[in-house]
Amino acid sequence: MAEPATVGIVTPTVYVHNCPFTLQCGATFATYELVYETYGRLNEAKSNAVLICHALSGHHHAAGLHAEDDPKPGWWDACIGPNKPIDTNQFFVVSLNNLGGCHGSTGPLSVDPTTNEAYGPSFPNVVVKDWVQSQAHLADHLGIEKFAAIIGGSLGGMQALQWSIDFPDRLHTAVLIASAAKLTAQNIAFNEIARQAITSDPEFHDGHYKRLGVNPDLGLMLARMIGHVTYLSDDGMRSKFGREVKSGDIGTGADVEFQVESYLHHQGRSFSRKFDANTYILMTRALDYYDPARDSDHDLVAALRAVQAKFLVVSFTSDWRFSVERSKEIVDALIAARKNVACAVIESEHGHDSFLLPLPRYNDVLRSFLTRLHSDLDHGADLDHEG
């Protein structure tokens, strides 16, 4: 097998949607923008496109570097590239920053044309269905009628699931990784603690911090620290940090900082510099509210009736934020609805974070599924038959 490589230097593009777009909440954008990147080449038949849906704190920069001296590649560089599981020699990969984001797409930091001020906390409520609709606008713009695959981890998996329900004939396959059809009470609780950390920061000012030239750094930092603990597992943290002390003397108790503390401080601080608090609140709410069965009398099987896509559902043993059981619920509902689905449970001690890591078996599973998909597309196989 050829060596995995990088997609190299990539440059984001901005798509401007110039028609009014009404959200589920009733608010309308006269126009909006999505920033996105693409990797690989769209074939002539435009049949090899893969959409990457990002998770809670994600964005469009999934693979490659923005400049030669970039210290870090895109957030899913482990998985996307030539000869990587999502192989850019085979697929044309599209990755965007969702509406409401803070990395270039229209979001709380953008200027509201009706007031000529940043939206801030008045940015309308965006839900997963809106993201899917706006991603469909982007697909139209790129001339992609049907995606070969729509892939997402965590909140991204919810978008892939919603795609299969809202646009059944616009995707061949959906890959849901460490995801859930809806959050549990415990999961919502963690999101609420994170939101409270932000909104109770004195610098939050009811979301108008930008107008005052300040930022709720401490709140964001705390929110991220809580998040990070829940994205890892007890065993994972033990083997990553143990009780190792980074500085100070534990004997005298003077200025002690454990490695784990230092890690959380660093992650929290860098997040507070990069991420907008209003976006964080908006995205956690979208995560909390998501439930595709709500319109089907809470019957997920009924919600999936019209689905045509074939599914791959992957979960990780130590993930307690999006546990194996949540993935199994999706798989069971798909089987009951007579849809094509495969599922793998990957042994990992890295908790929810596993989905971002280059774990050998996880990569093999993705690679096998996508290689088979690519050869089916090549042979023009009828992938759309119902079960």
Partner 1 sequence: MRADLDVIAGLINPGARVLDLGCGEGELLAHLQETKSVNGYGLDVDENNIRICLDKGVNVIEQDLDDGLENFESHSFDMVVMTETLQSVKAPDRLLLDMLRIGQECVVTFPNFGHWRCRTQLVLGHMPIANHLPHAWYDTPNIHLCTFRDFEKLCTELDLKIIQRRVVNHKHAENPWMLRWPNMFGTFAFYRLGRA
In angstroms, the CA 160 to CA 167 distance is 10
By CB under 8 A, tell whether 178 contacts partner 1.
Answer: no
Min dist CB 155 to partner 1, Å, is 23
Q: Specify the residue, 53 or 312, whose C-beta has the smaller distance to partner 1.
A: 312
Q: Which of residues 133-152 bind partner 1 (CB under 8 A)?
A: none
Name, in order, each residue with C-beta under 8 angstroms of 319's C-beta and a sequence gap of 6 or more.
Answer: 178, 233, 348, 351, 352, 354
b/e map 72-90, b = 16+ CB within 10 Å? ebbbbbbbbbbebbbbbeb
Q: Pairing state of beta strands 254-258 and 341-346?
A: unpaired
Min dist CB 341 to partner 1, Å, is 6
Q: Specify the residue, 89 or 371, whose C-beta has the smaller distance to partner 1.
A: 371
Min dist CB 332 to partner 1, Å, is 5
**Contacting range for partner 1; rule: CB under 8 A; set: 157-165, 196-204, 248-256, 371-379:** 371-379
At what angle are helices 128-142 and 277-289 packed, to 10 degrees?
100
In angstroms, the CA 9 to CA 66 distance is 5
The answer to whether 321 touches 231, Cβ cutoff 8 Å, is yes
By CB under 8 A, tell whether 377 contacts partner 1.
Answer: no
Q: Which of 326, 384, 386, 385 is nearest to 355 (CA)?
A: 326
In angstroms, the CA 188 to CA 210 distance is 27
By CB under 8 A, tell whether 247 contacts partner 1.
Answer: no
In angstroms, the CA 275 to CA 22 distance is 26
- Residue 118 φ then ψ, to 5°: -60, 145
Q: Which of residues 308-347 bind partner 1 (CB under 8 A)?
A: 312, 328, 331-332, 335-336, 338, 340-345
Q: Specify the residue, 133 or 327, whose C-beta has the smaller distance to partner 1.
A: 327
Min dist CB 81 to partner 1, Å, is 20
Q: Which of residues 262-281 bind partner 1 (CB under 8 A)?
A: none
Min dist CB 149 to partner 1, Å, is 13
Structure tokens of 98?
């969702």
Residues 350-369: x/- map of binding to partner 1 (CB under 8 A)?
-----------x--xx--xx
Q: Specify the residue, 288 or 376, whose C-beta has the smaller distance to partner 1.
A: 376
> How distant, in Å, are the alpha carbons of 17, 163, 265 from that of 92?
21, 18, 37
By CB under 8 A, tell whether 296 contacts partner 1.
Answer: no
Min dist CB 177 to partner 1, Å, is 14
By CB under 8 A, tell whether 198 contacts partner 1.
Answer: no
Min dist CB 49 to partner 1, Å, is 20
In angstroms, the CA 30 to CA 363 distance is 42
By CB under 8 A, tell whether 245 contacts partner 1.
Answer: no
By CB under 8 A, tell whether 384 contacts partner 1.
Answer: no
Amino acid identity at 195: R
What are the residue numbers of the active site?
A: 154, 319, 352
- Residue 307 φ then ψ, to 5°: -60, 140
In angstroms, the CA 12 to CA 32 distance is 16
The answer to whether 137 touches 94, Cβ cutoff 8 Å, is no
Q: Specify the residue, 141 or 298, whose C-beta has the smaller distance to partner 1.
A: 298
Q: Specify the residue, 217 or 376, whose C-beta has the smaller distance to partner 1.
A: 376
Q: Specify the residue, 112 or 376, whose C-beta has the smaller distance to partner 1.
A: 376
Q: Which residues lie near partner 1 (CB under 8 A)? A: 312, 328, 331-332, 335-336, 338, 340-345, 361, 364-365, 368-369, 371-372, 376, 385-387
